[in-house]
């Protein structure tokens, strides 16, 4: 199926991991895809993987001027935007006593402020009836030791999604969150076996998510199949936070 045929999509933080999987799926479903990433070589490699004439833009998701430039490139090429994915994020452990101002500021700058500014600069380019997906995390509703700041940023995104859904509903713009559990990305592949075992243990289905499974959920929320869904948080966590 070409569920995104002739639609224009931007994936902020689409050069690797879950973002790359989402961008690849959107392109395969017919979308004209733009991605952003912080490193030129990663962006170029991602565009090669995505194919379908995807366009890569080097941008720092925590810098409003970079996001403005990226949206400007989409607007110049196609005039409007049908689908926006705000995926860029960082996750670094720190126990309560070890949380520094820099640790706090970096997480909120990328994970929260980046999403806020991303939507702010894109909102006038989003056409009526467009869809936005924020990439959250099961951590937003679980108490995971040493990841309090990261979890707080994802909880903030969930709260913002509710507000933004209400504010943009008059234009028919839908705002939803896809919330993955532990996902088997390149970063997770470097985790020692004993750590992986502890991460998988609370997951009812007994394994991590595949990036492509998260991408399927994002595709659904961005497509017309979810035309009457807004303000939700869709968990893709193998039951980790649900039972």
Catalytic positions are 150
CA-CA distance, 90 to 115, in Å (whole number)?
Answer: 12
CA-CA distance, 194 to 133, in Å (whole number)?
Answer: 33
Q: Could you count the other beta carbons within 10 Å of the beta carbon of residue 193? A: 6
Q: Most distant CA pair in the chain: distance in Å? A: 51
Residue 138 Cα distances to 19, 80, 122, 150, 240, angstroms: 17, 32, 26, 11, 8
């Amino acid at each position: 199926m070409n569920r995104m045929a002739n639609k224009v999509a931007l994936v902020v933080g689409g050069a690797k991991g879950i973002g790359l999987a989402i961008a690849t799926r959107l392109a395969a479903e017919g979308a004209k895809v733009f991605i952003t990433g912080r490193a030129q070589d990663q962006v170029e490699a991602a565009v090669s993987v995505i194919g379908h004439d995807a366009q890569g833009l080097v941008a720092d998701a925590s810098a409003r001027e970079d996001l403005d430039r990226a949206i400007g490139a989409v607007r110049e090429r196609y005039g409007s935007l049908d689908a926006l994915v705000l995926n860029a994020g960082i996750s670094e452990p720190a126990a309560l006593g070890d949380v520094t101002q820099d640790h706090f500021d970096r997480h909120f700058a990328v994970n929260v402020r980046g999403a806020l500014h991303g939507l702010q600069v894109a909102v006038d380019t989003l056409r009526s009836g467009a869809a936005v997906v924020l990439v959250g995390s099961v951590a937003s509703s679980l108490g995971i030791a040493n990841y309090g700041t990261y979890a707080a940023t994802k909880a903030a995104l969930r709260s913002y999604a509710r507000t933004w859904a209400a504010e943009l509903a008059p234009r028919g713009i839908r705002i939803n969150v896809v919330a993955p559990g532990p996902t088997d990305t390149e970063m997770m592949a470097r985790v020692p076996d004993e750590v992986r075992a502890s991460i998988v243990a609370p997951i009812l289905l007994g394994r991590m998510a595949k990036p492509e499974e998260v991408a399927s959920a994002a595709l659904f929320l961005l497509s017309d199949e979810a035309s009457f869904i807004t303000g939700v948080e869709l968990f893709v966590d193998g039951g980790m936070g649900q039972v």
